Amino acid sequence: MAVASLPVPSRWPSLYGRDVLRLADLSPDDIVQLVQLARDLKQIQKLRIPFEPLKGKTLAMIFEKASTRTRVSFSVGMQQLGGHILELSPTTLQISRGETLEDTARVLSRYVDALMVRTGPHDRLESLAEAATIPVINGLSDDYHPCQLLADLLTLYERFGTLNGLVVTYVGDGSNMANSWIEAAALLGFGLRLAVPPGYEPPAAVLEWGQSEAKSRGGGVYLTHDPKEAAVDADVIYTDVWVSMGQEAETEARLTAFAPFQVNRLLMQLASRHTVFMHCLPAHRGQEVTEDVIDGDQSVVWDQAENRLHAQKALLLSLLANPS
């Protein structure tokens, strides 16, 4: 692609100053425009075109949970856009000594331009966002992972060119990733099959809302306890870890319950030759996925991981730079 054929973006989704705590905080048009912007930013980076619209802007990041992709993608992305980062540990902030989340949000709002938080209970994010006067971004919570979904959607658009008519099969725990996939299907109207063990279903309210919204847009959200049924003719097979951070006490019970839900070569063969395998990482090889699948020809997990950078840049640009 010639440099001249790719102008530096002069417009982007009008998300200026908003919070993004879940995918449903965005409209379908917002999501599509973010994915398109991320694709442009990816090409701009590969062509080494200088583009630093966030000079003078600072992103603060609070990590209450371990992180590789979220930490690096936001840090590198903000710096590539010309901005600065400030990484904060909860153990060195005054919240570790009893300062309220609300007071912390009010103070940080006077110093920085946006706040990204990776935490456990989703209501912690909501408390921060309610008190803050700057955009608050969910880098992961126990309930939702919108930033991962933006990267996943970018990866699917790159592979298939569209989401229309696609069937995504999610195999595993009805956790934050399942919830965010439900929101994506509800907002964009594609097909989603959820194959989860009994007792590990997504919250009923999230599932029912997603089923209703997806149907209204020509898609569908289907729940089953049979991974083989869900895999037949799917375009995407997606999985996540069986034991998330904070669930270590449940490890033995979870490994037993999820054993039939491993994504392996036999499960992939029930889909089709064009089916892609996706995983948000980190992966526990030999548990939720076998090594031959995650390292196989149908795997796009490394594209997903790279696309966290470009999706994060699109989000930051849209939240922090007013195009008008």
Q: Establish whether 176 is an annotated binding residue.
A: yes
Determine, yes or no, domain membership for 48.
yes
Type and span of the H or E element at 180: helix 176-188
Tell me the pairing of strands 58-63 and 84-88: parallel
Residue 141 or residue 10, greater confidence = 141
Distances, alpha carbon 247 to alpha carbons 29, 92, 176, in Å: 36, 25, 13
Determine, yes or no, domain membership for 14.
no
Q: Establish whether 118 is an annotated binding residue.
A: yes
- Are residues 163 and 95 part of one domain? no
Model confidence band, residue 5 (pLDDT cutoffs 50, 70, 90): low
For residue 10, the model assigns a pLDDT of: 75
pLDDT tens string 15-61: 999 999 999 999 999 999 999 999 999 999 999 999 999 999 999 99
- Are residues 300 and 153 part of one domain? yes
Type and span of the H or E element at 59: strand 58-63
- Are residues 218 and 139 part of one domain? no
Q: For the chain, how many structural domains are there in total?
A: 2
Question: For the chain, what percent of residues have pLDDT higher than 90?
Answer: 89
Smallest CA-to-CA distance from 188 within 157, 225, 163 is with 163
- Are residues 182 and 208 part of one domain? yes
Q: Establish whether 299 is an annotated binding residue.
A: no
What's phi and psi for 318, nearest 5 deg? -70, -30
Determine, yes or no, domain membership for 2.
no
Rounded Cα gap, residues 43 and 287, in angstroms? 35
- Name the residue range of residue 287's domain: 148-304
- Are residues 257 and 152 part of one domain? yes
Q: Establish whether 280 is an annotated binding residue.
A: yes
Question: Does the pLDDT of residue 2 top 60, yes or no?
Answer: no
pLDDT tens string 200-254: 999 999 999 999 999 999 999 999 999 999 999 999 999 999 988 778 888 999 9
Determine, yes or no, domain membership for 34.
yes
Order of strands across the sheet that contains 220-224: 220-224, 191-195, 167-171, 236-239, 276-279
Model confidence band, residue 6 (pLDDT cutoffs 50, 70, 90): low
Q: Establish whether 269 is an annotated binding residue.
A: no
Determine, yes or no, domain membership for 11.
no
Determine, yes or no, domain membership for 72.
yes
Determine, yes or no, domain membership for 18.
no
- Are residues 268 and 245 part of one domain? yes
For residue 1, the model assigns a pLDDT of: 35
- Are residues 135 and 169 part of one domain? no
Q: Establish whether 240 is an annotated binding residue.
A: yes
Determine, yes or no, domain membership for 137.
yes
For residue 3, the model assigns a pLDDT of: 39
CATH (domain of 173): 3.40.50.1370
Average pLDDT for the chain: 95
Asked if residues 60 and 108 have their Cβ atoms less than 8 Å apart, the reply is: yes
Give CA torsion, residues 131, 133, 121, 205, to 10 deg. 100
- Are residues 217 and 191 part of one domain? yes
| DSSP helix/strand/coil, 194 | strand
- Are residues 133 and 78 part of one domain? yes
Catalytically active residues are 118, 145, 148, 240, 280, 308
Rounded Cα gap, residues 302 and 3, in angstroms? 26
Smallest CA-to-CA distance from 45 within 5, 83, 84, 77 is with 77
- Are residues 298 and 184 part of one domain? yes
- Are residues 254 and 217 part of one domain? yes
- Are residues 277 and 220 part of one domain? yes
